[in-house]
Amino acid sequence: MSRPHGEPTPVQLDRFEENRRRFIRPVFWLQVGLLLALACVPLGFSSVRILDVVTKGMIFTVAVASYDLIIGYTGIVTFAHGMFFGLGAYSLGVVLNQASQPLKVTVTFLAPILTQPELTKVAWLTSSPSYYHLFIGFLIAVALAAAISLLIVLFSLRVKAIFFAMISLAFAEFAFILGQQWRSLTGAGDGLAFKLPGIFAKGWSGGRFLAADINYKLFVYYVILVLAVILFVMMLRFIRSPLGRVIKSTRENEPRATALGYKTFRFQATSFVFGSVIAAVCGWMYAFHELQLDAGEVLGIGLMLNILLMVILGGLGTLYGSIVGVAFVLAGEAYLPDIGKWAVQFMPNVPMLERLAERWLLWFGILFVLVVIFFPKGVVGTARDLIGRAKVRAMAKES
């Protein structure tokens, strides 16, 4: 029986119902609550450490979500994501560092009497970064990430499975070696320091409000919060768009998507470039927050492994799992050493406990193994499966 012209399809009806219930679902109010909590962190806590951990958490949540977009939703295994993060960080760092360099100016004076020789004076003019340097660094980060990621996919994406992963790893290693060797530009292991302009400059202060000091850290925090929310919403819109649905269908069954007439290579390339650009913007935010860079930290393979670890903990193909994975890793790195010290102070006469407290990475590894055992699809992925099964059982009982 044919459907009358203009009548919505069952899929369209389902989407209409989903949109109608969007603002009354518990998940929506949980998102609003999380956003309000993040907005109130600087006003409710005066601890610099808490502010630093939360700021890094927002940056890496977006970075991990962008990697999940590529590996979880698109099904592309890449080890170059950390490279794009580092490129974005150095795009801002190098621009601000060069903007802070003094300028050499040679001034020539003519003597009043022409028979006397010219008098030459060399002057050094101090230079400082401006707000437009932040925008220039942002544009360079986006352009570099888009160009290099497009270059990688055009020459390598047709190579499937582990071979593309190895090619991406080769690009990442090349970027790391270049960062270590090009000392005059990146600072290599010595680090690259720079300063921010205006109200973001270190030391700027504008008084106090509630528990928060109105200073440069507060403005940096809120800039990163706004950018993180915008980028995360962009990724949500991306995966829920028709393009995102084609990408997920390509991941599940690429031959079938090709048979339906979709150019799967174009969709995969778009997802890879989009995720890489977002990673570069996250690197820009990291440099904006840290004010110094080390090539080994932002271009090394250790960063890539941390991002992969966070994706696994949260759950592949969940996007929201990045929040859980980042919170687990950053909280473990920040507070597990302190827990060990508190345990030693509580029981000072136990030598074995003191030695174990010094090896907090051992406890972190044990926690990671336990999470993988009890949450094989990540925390969010496993929770989603359990909720789905409960709904199926409830529907079966009703029928």
Residue 281 has pLDDT above 90, yes or no: yes
* Residue 149: both structure tokens together: 């990621």
Q: Which residue has the higher pLDDT, 88 or 26?
A: 88
371 three-class SS: helix
The single-letter code of the amino acid at 276 is: S
Give the residue, 388 or 75, on which the prediction is more confident. Answer: 75
207-230: per-residue pLDDT in tens?
Answer: 666 556 777 888 889 999 999 999
Q: What are the tens digits of pLDDT across the range 295-351? A: 888 988 889 989 998 999 888 888 888 999 998 888 888 777 776 666 666 666 666
Task: Quote the tokens at residue 62.
Answer: 């977006």
Q: Which of 251, 229, 373 is nearest to 312 (CA)?
A: 373
pTM for the full predicted model: 0.85
**Cα–Cα dist 280/139, whole Å:** 10
Tell me the C-alpha distance between 68 and 50, whole Å. 26
Q: Where are the domains of the chain?
A: 30-398
Q: CATH topology for 30-398?
A: ABC transporter involved in vitamin B12 uptake, BtuC (1.10.3470)
Contact 196, 216 (CB under 8 A): yes
- 117: helix, strand or coil: coil
* 48-51-52 Cα angle (round to 5): 85
